[in-house]
A and B are shown apart, each in its own frame.
Chain A
Amino acid sequence: MHASLYRGLVAPSNLRTTPTTRTARTSSSDRRTWDPVARAARISILSTEVTSDDAAGYRPPRGHYDEVFGPGGIPRGHAVGLASEIARLGPELLAAAGHRRDAIFVQQGITFDATGEDGPVKDRPFPLDLVPRILPAAEWDHIERGLQQRIRALNRFIDDVYHERDIVRAGIVPWRLIVSRSHFARAAHGVRPPGGVYCHVAGCDLVRDGDGTWKVLEDNVRTPSGISYVLENRVAMTRLVPQLFQHHRVRPVDHYPQLLLAGLRSVAPSAEDEATVVVWTPGPMNSAYFEHAFLARQMGVELVEASDLVVRDDVLYMRTTAGLRRVHAVYRRLDDDFVDPLEFRPDSLLGVPGLVRAYRAGTVAIANALGTGVADDKAIYHYVPEMIRFYLGEEPILSNVETYIMSDEAQREAALARRTELVFKPTGESGGKGVFIGPSTPRDELDGLADVIRAQPDKWIAQEVVSLSTVPTALPDGTLAPRHVDLRPFAVFGEQIRIVPGGLTRVALKEGSMIVNSSQGGGSKDTWVLEEDDGRRPATGDQHLHEVIPAGMPGLRYGAEGWQSQQQQQQQSLASPATAGSAPRADTRCETSPQGEASQC
């Protein structure tokens, strides 16, 4: 069933979609063949000539924005180089690279457990699609400013909620709505974390609407995951398909661990020397354990579990072979509910008793801060544009997806009347749980849902359906088909808000599907943010770059004969100094440098 579903996307009459008859087609009347030499020549002469037709009969769906091919199947300006390089690669080589990818991912343990049609599948290679998503610099600049603005406002909101409540008194967000949130933490009341930062790590989900505008779908400020895949994907891409980078200068992502560590250190309280930072994981059974270990490894800090931590006299320590060692900052990857059984859930075995006391005493920074989840809530999300206006006095750069609050009677009844057109989401959930998509849900279920919503309106929101943008995605046979994507950029808030260029693009690997979750058949893409010139200048490798040739670099020696000859030469030179310099040898010890300067020896 899968195979037919994939192939159905590509017009069957188009011979170019089948990768098996490459040589035969070279001599056929069809001049647009996959023959790499012919294609390379043609593309290099006039690169804008490439169209979606060259990419194996690629047909973006109507009403959706395709991020590589614009109207008429012509590649968008910044993506011309990529499109031509993919066309030059052709389906066969793309499919071969896919096989190598799977082998490498299994070898490196970048796998996940999924539920397939035959039941649970263990250790499936993480599905990285080899066609990257590509964003021009100007577009990224817009996103980056929008996210920084949003995160600043959210941080102010969290601070306000646990202190002055100005926004409530101004009548913008109802207090009833805030206190009823499951992530509202009484323990955080009146505590101001070091540096005034609550959401040290944020990952806001963005989508692109049918007309190409970016919208925020949700804010993740508790424990957003996925950054490890961003980094691993980039490494994998440079190894598997280095050709694709040929025409573009892509901004790097591998400094994220450095940003995170610097961010955590900058908020760590009372560290005399270097602050001790740890990553706190619930344990190897957690689905994001790979990421926890990855981040600890990349930052060079300890990965701890609750049993490694202890609080004495309101100070957090970890148990080491040399006794207790003070911990100044914790990057925790578990929810508030579990961090301290004395304050939150008393049955939590994952928590450290007394941690909240230590936090309140200001001896340890916790990232993200306790109580931050209140800003992560879908009902609160609705108010973020208002928060931006209220706290920052600015207009929001990125807008929300149209959202209706069910506790507002007028909005609720209007939304319920359009119940077959909207998406209904429970506010406290994440990961797509409990979501009803109007257009694809049976009418009687929606009627039942309406009763549920009227009974507990605070717990629901409704949103307009977003027609997610598409990006060409390689099918197992190497041909391309449009698939829907979203984007999760990652921000680190330390002394300032830094956002890693790009982020995790999740892609729905099934035709027409908008479900991008990897446990439900979704994959990911490497996300490229281009440098300012947007690929109109050739990128790497061949240009004449900054040459560093230090003076006095000795030549390489290749074995015994070098010394032997030099000794002989020295002996000769001792015997007759006049002839010594006349026959310089490449293998002598004191060779002149390639720049011609005399060596120091």
Chain B
Amino acid sequence: MSRIAQELFWLGRNIARAEHTARMLDGVFQASLQGRPDDPAGVRLGWGSILAIMGAQADGRPVRRDEVLTRLTLARDEPASVISCVSRAREGARTMRDVISAEMWEAVNTTHLALSAGDLEGRMQMGPYSVFQYVKERSSLFWGLTSRTMLRDEARSFLVAGGRIESADMVLRMLRVAMPIPNDEATGVRDGQALALLQAVGGFQAFRRAVPAPANAGPVARFLLYERAYPDSVAASVDAVHGALLDADAAPRSSEPVLRLSRLAADLEFRGRAAAEDGNLAEASSLVQSELALVDADIAERYFAGAGAALGTVVA
């Protein structure tokens, strides 16, 4: 059913977004407490940039770290906050208790309840790590239970497709802010940001094992964009979305999103091989991101169009 597919797709996206937001905030927060070897000012990622990554506006005032942290984690009226993502995921899961497994529902529901109860603001003030860590763990639990308890059918494909497309989008958003710009004099700054980013997404050890180069901006960006062996890279996520839709689509050979994903995957493969030291990674990730937005549109059009008609949404 179209509506169910759409709900599952967004359930996946919301869970993945909550986790990536927590990871990003955690990484930037930790990194902001220290300087960097070649950059005394530390990870000079303004907290305004973080708001921008999440599509939230700074309304012209100077941006304070603690405000950003609270707003993107606990603010219920901020749609991009972790708590809003979890709350939307829980609502989605609630309407699909018959489709997802009972254990998956419990996992989401417990996360939602735990974030709503208790002195979270106090915990954020003492050290946000414990809150972020909780969100990361609960998200992993959800995906673990998905692979253990949910039938490998069309429903699961849409859930996975949603999670992976969100994952790719979030990594691209972070990369575009921490990305090396050719001929940029602030290389040291960007190297520090790249290391923080790598640690935030949890890819530090994987990077170390896969890439002999130091964790500077260029190698890190290439790794996060093109390294298929690393599960959270953009290329791996695109592959996963592609695979999920191949399974779910009744006629994949004539499916616009599947075809577009095939082209994107091939393009990433090609770029990954060709990516020399001077490849313009900022431009590449910008292109990949807009291509993903088109995939997103194609998915909505091909699979969810019926859902909208059923819901009867009307624009004033």
A interface residues with partner B (beta carbon < 8 Å):
93, 96-97, 100, 234-235, 238-243, 245, 249-255, 257-258, 261-262, 274, 297-300, 531-532, 540-542, 544-550, 552-561, 563-565, 567-569, 572, 589, 594, 599-601
Query: Chain A: which residue is nearest B308 at the CB level?
Result: A564
Query: Chain B: which residue is nearest A593 at the CB level?
Result: B52
**Does residue B110 face the partner (Cβ distance < 8 Å to A)?**
no
Other 14 A-B pairs with CB < 8 A, given A541-B66, A542-B65, A567-B301: A238-B34, A239-B30, A239-B130, A252-B36, A258-B214, A299-B208, A545-B47, A546-B46, A549-B49, A550-B179, A568-B313, A568-B314, A568-B315, A594-B52
B167 → A minimal CB distance (Å): 14
18 contacts between A and B (CB under 8 A): A97-B127, A238-B30, A238-B34, A245-B34, A249-B41, A254-B34, A261-B214, A544-B63, A545-B46, A546-B44, A553-B52, A553-B289, A554-B289, A560-B6, A560-B308, A572-B315, A594-B57, A600-B290
Contact indicator A540/B6 (Cβ below 8 Å): no
A541-B42 contact in complex given A258-B214, A297-B205, A558-B79, C-beta closer than 8 Å: no
Comparing B139-147, B230-238, B242-250, B292-300, the segment that makes contact with chain A is B292-300
> A213 vs B62: C-alpha distance in the bound complex, in angstroms?
44
Contact indicator A249/B42 (Cβ below 8 Å): yes
A571 → B minimal CB distance (Å): 9
How many residues belonging to B are interface residues under a CB distance threshold of 8 Å?
Answer: 75
Q: A563: which of B64, B214, B304 is its contact (CB, 8 Å)?
A: B304
> A180 vs B54: C-alpha distance in the bound complex, in angstroms?
67
B39-81 to A contact mask, C-beta < 8 Å, 1/0:
0111011111100111101100011111000000000000110
Contact indicator A300/B209 (Cβ below 8 Å): yes
Query: Chain A: which residue is nearest B290 at the CB level?
Result: A601
> A589 vs B290: C-alpha distance in the bound complex, in angstroms?
9
B182-210 to A contact mask, C-beta < 8 Å, 1/0:
00001001000001000000000101111
Contact indicator A601/B293 (Cβ below 8 Å): yes
Residue from B46, B54, B207, B304 with most neighbouring chain A CB atoms (10 Å)? B46
> A483 vs B61: C-alpha distance in the bound complex, in angstroms?
45
Q: B127: which of A241, A255, A561 is its contact (CB, 8 Å)?
A: A241
B228 → A minimal CB distance (Å): 18
Contact indicator B315/A565 (Cβ below 8 Å): yes
**Does residue B173 face the partner (Cβ distance < 8 Å to A)?**
yes
Q: B45: which of A250, A546, A567 is its contact (CB, 8 Å)?
A: A546
**Which residues of B are found within 8 Å of A554, using beta-carbon distances?**
55, 289-290, 293
**Which residues of A are found within 8 Å of B111, using beta-carbon distances?**
none
**Which residues of B are found within 8 Å of A243, using beta-carbon distances?**
126-127
Contact indicator B57/A552 (Cβ below 8 Å): no
Query: Chain B: which residue is nearest A237 at the CB level?
Result: B33
B28 → A minimal CB distance (Å): 10
Contact indicator B208/A550 (Cβ below 8 Å): no
B263-310 residues with Cβ-Cβ distance < 8 A to A are 282, 286, 289-290, 293-294, 296-297, 300-301, 304-305, 307-308
Residue from A251, A255, A257, A563 with most neighbouring chain B CB atoms (10 Å)? A563
> A564 vs B315: C-alpha distance in the bound complex, in angstroms?
9
A211 → B minimal CB distance (Å): 30
A245-B33 contact in complex given A547-B48, A548-B49, C-beta closer than 8 Å: yes
Contact indicator B214/A262 (Cβ below 8 Å): yes
**Which residues of A are found within 8 Å of B176, using beta-carbon distances?**
550, 553
**Which residues of B are found within 8 Å of A560, using beta-carbon distances?**
6-7, 10, 304, 307-308, 311, 313
> A258 vs B194: C-alpha distance in the bound complex, in angstroms?
14
> A224 vs B6: C-alpha distance in the bound complex, in angstroms?
58
Residue from B33, B48, B58 with most neighbouring chain A CB atoms (10 Å)? B33
B199-227 residues with Cβ-Cβ distance < 8 A to A are 205, 207-212, 214-215
Query: Chain A: which residue is nearest B189 at the CB level?
Result: A546
Contact indicator A240/B293 (Cβ below 8 Å): no
B96 → A minimal CB distance (Å): 13
**Does residue B177 face the partner (Cβ distance < 8 Å to A)?**
yes
**Does residue B134 face the partner (Cβ distance < 8 Å to A)?**
no
> A82 vs B141: C-alpha distance in the bound complex, in angstroms?
39
> A559 vs B41: C-alpha distance in the bound complex, in angstroms?
38
**Which residues of A are found within 8 Å of B17, using beta-carbon distances?**
556
Contact indicator B33/A258 (Cβ below 8 Å): no
Contact indicator A274/B64 (Cβ below 8 Å): no
**Which residues of B are found within 8 Å of A298, using beta-carbon distances?**
205, 208
Contact indicator B34/A545 (Cβ below 8 Å): no
B199 → A minimal CB distance (Å): 8
**Does residue B105 face the partner (Cβ distance < 8 Å to A)?**
no
Query: Chain A: which residue is nearest B66 at the CB level?
Result: A541
Q: B308: which of A297, A542, A544, A567 is its contact (CB, 8 Å)?
A: A567
**Does residue B260 face the partner (Cβ distance < 8 Å to A)?**
no
